[in-house]
Amino acid sequence: MPLSPEQQAEIDAQRAETHQTRRAVAPGMEAWLYKAVPVLDHGFVRAIDYMGDDAAICQAARVSYGRGTKSVSNDAGLIRYLMRHWHSTPFEMCELKLHVKLPVFVARQWIRHRTANVNEYSARYSILDREFYIPEPGALAAQSTVNNQGRGAALEGAEAARVLDWLRDDATRAYDHYEAMIGETGPDGTPQQGLARELARMNLPANVYTQWYWKVDLHNLFHFLRLRADSHAQWEIRVYAEAICKMVADWVPHAYSAFEDYRLGGAQLSAKGVECVKRMLRGEEVTQETSGMSKGEWREFMGVVG
């Protein structure tokens, strides 16, 4: 369970409040605000605040005095045009602030996206919770034999059971020692100084959960989602990205639909790739050997056009 009853009560109280504003309000995102969407076994993602909507993108693109929107089809067409031609700054006019609870090894991948503002829970100041990511059996996969940076089929039988036991036991023992080191009494009940939290935390494994507030503009959020909602991203970060995709689809439906079409579902071809497509359309039989591409490039190219 990612939330305690007290935390859920705080969220409910905040969701019960409403305020009047002259600012643009996106009804789709209002429905998501503050709700914790569960991800993995103890994690979540929740929208804390946002700025702008689809109209804000058009308003900025047209540098308007008022709302700056025209007909729905005109606005949707403009947004598609901006996305298609990488005219990205109007998308930067929208912002999203998220509260994310995630395992440290996922956070290490996430934090590589430098174009966001982050404030992480302080494990120098506070004590981390006894919460570790333990994969569901279906997510406990073997090393991929074709991709060094990927996974294959799920582990089975005794091996799966053994791995799960080790993950649980090691995490539990590491946390027990963490608690014992920072405690005010030793194992025999005698008083001890207690190791500083900033040092004791180094004993915790990378599957312990951390939390942060993460604020990003829509252009850079799309960049993050394009990389992390992709099938090549590690599954444990992908499930967070997919949860965020659902929020963004409701927040800025026209922008998300353009993003889905041109970025998530679209593909980029090299000059050699474009030339091969042209030759194929002329009825020529093109092979990897005659394409001018490496084996890896050809495999990816055929993944797009094959």
CB 255 within 8 Å of CB 225? no
CB 160 within 8 Å of CB 140? yes
CB-neighbour burial class of residue 258 (10 A; exposed 0-12, middle 13-18, buried 19+) = buried
Per-residue binding string, ligand FAD, 205-224, x by CB under 6 A, is: ---------------x--x-
Q: Is 182 annotated as a binding residue?
A: no
Q: Is 291 annotated as a binding residue?
A: no
Q: Does 108 bind ligand FAD (CB under 6 A)?
A: no
Q: Is 114 annotated as a binding residue?
A: yes
Helix (H, G, I), strand (E, B) or coil at 86: coil
- d(Cα 48, Cα 23) in Å, to the nearest integer? 16
Q: Does 115 bind ligand FAD (CB under 6 A)?
A: yes
Q: Does 226 bind ligand FAD (CB under 6 A)?
A: no
CB 251 within 8 Å of CB 29? yes
Binding residues for ligand FAD, how many (CB under 6 A)? 9
Whose CA is closest to 216, among 36, 21, 63, 52?
Answer: 52
Q: Which is nearer to ligand FAD, 62 or 223 (CB)?
A: 223
The DSSP output letter for 154 is E
- d(Cα 120, Cα 155) in Å, to the nearest integer? 34
**Piece in contact with ligand FAD (CB under 6 A), picked from 49-57, 112-120, 251-259, 260-268:** 112-120
Point out the catalytic residue in the list 84, 173, 197, 228: 228
Half-sphere exposure of 184 (CA within 13 A, CB side): 0
Q: Which is nearer to ligand FAD, 99 or 223 (CB)?
A: 223
Assess whether 279 carries a catalytic annotation. no
Q: Is 256 annotated as a binding residue?
A: no
Mark the binding-site residues, compressed into ranges. 89, 109-114, 120-124, 201, 217-219, 223, 228
Mark the binding-site residues for dUMP, compressed into ranges. 109-112, 120-124, 201, 228
Q: Which residues bind ligand FAD (CB under 6 A)?
A: 112-115, 220, 223, 227, 232-233
Residues designated catalytic: 228
